[in-house]
Amino acid sequence: MKTVKIMLACLSLVFIGFWATGLQAQDAVKADPEHYKVEFENEQVRVLRIQYGPGEKSVMHHHPDAVAIMLTESNGLMTLPDGSMIEDRNKAGTAMFTPESTHLPQNNGSEPMELILVELKTCKDKMHKPKN
């Protein structure tokens, strides 16, 4: 009986670990609709408007490869799944490629932060297909 209880406890811990890992990799819009809004979506891209007030932070979520366009100056702090943190400061008007990542962002600035994120979807390479 004791062995069965230990096995059930171990299985429960494994299940909780898989469940927690799944939460870390949630879609940003589903995980945090207060800060993330879909502006446009098709088969190739999804365009998000992201807005954070001063001191606001999100929850752990995931983005595919994307292009970020800063609409305001940003003073952000990104917490990664392993607990490490990365400062993320950008000027308004900055555009940059952002590789696929899982993170928890926070606006460390005293002003609102806003950006557009163009998430790139996996699609067939239409430009290199021969035309018949």
Domain residue spans of the chain: 2-120
Tell me the whole-structure pTM to 2 decimals.
Answer: 0.76
28-64 per-position pLDDT tens digit: 999 999 999 999 999 999 999 999 999 999 999 999 9
Q: How confident is the model at residue 2 (pLDDT cuts 50, 70, 90)?
A: low
Structure tokens at 19: 């469940």
Residue 76 backbone phi and psi in degrees, to 5: -105, 165
Superfamily, domain 2-120: Jelly Rolls (2.60.120.10)
d(CA 44, CA 119): 9
Question: Over 90: is that where the pLDDT of 98 sits?
Answer: yes
d(CA 66, CA 57): 20
Half-sphere exposure of 51 (CA within 13 A, CB side): 7
Residue 1: what pLDDT? 59
Question: Over 90: is that where the pLDDT of 25 sits?
Answer: no
